[in-house]
């Protein structure tokens, strides 16, 4: 969320994971690409998409101000 991104900015972290973008195994609401882009613009570091993401989502991630994709089950 935005509060945590601002904390990450203050801590000058190297990168963050933003999740869940498309889906979650724990039924958390997905943020979608539009919200991902909004939140990514607030970050002062690279943002990786996580949550229902596959390698095929890399171009979409980058088009939405993301740096890359991360995942477990679809990789």
pLDDT digits (tens, 9 = 90+) for 52-73: 999 999 999 999 999 999 987 7
The reported pLDDT for the residue numbered 14 is 97
Name the phi and psi angles at 60, rounded to 5: -65, -40
Instruction: Specify whether the CB–CB gap between 68 and 50 falls below 8 A.
Output: no
Stated pTM of the model: 0.90
20, HSE (Cβ side, Cα atoms, 13 Å): 12
3-state secondary structure of 16: strand
How does pLDDT run across 5-56, given as a tens digit for each residue? 999 999 999 999 999 999 877 778 899 999 999 999 999 999 999 999 999 9
Instruction: Specify whether the CB–CB gap between 40 and 19 falls below 8 A.
Output: no
Rg (CA), the chain: 12
Q: pLDDT-based confidence at 75, cuts 50/70/90?
A: low
């Amino acid at each position: 969320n935005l509060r945590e991104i601002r904390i990450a900015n203050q801590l000058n972290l190297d990168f963050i994971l933003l999740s869940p973008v498309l889906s979650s195994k724990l039924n958390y609401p997905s943020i979608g690409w539009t919200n991902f882009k909004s939140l990514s613009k607030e970050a002062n570091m690279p943002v990786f998409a996580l949550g229902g993401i596959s390698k095929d989502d890399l171009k979409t991630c980058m088009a939405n101000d993301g740096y890359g994709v991360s995942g477990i089950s679809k990789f």
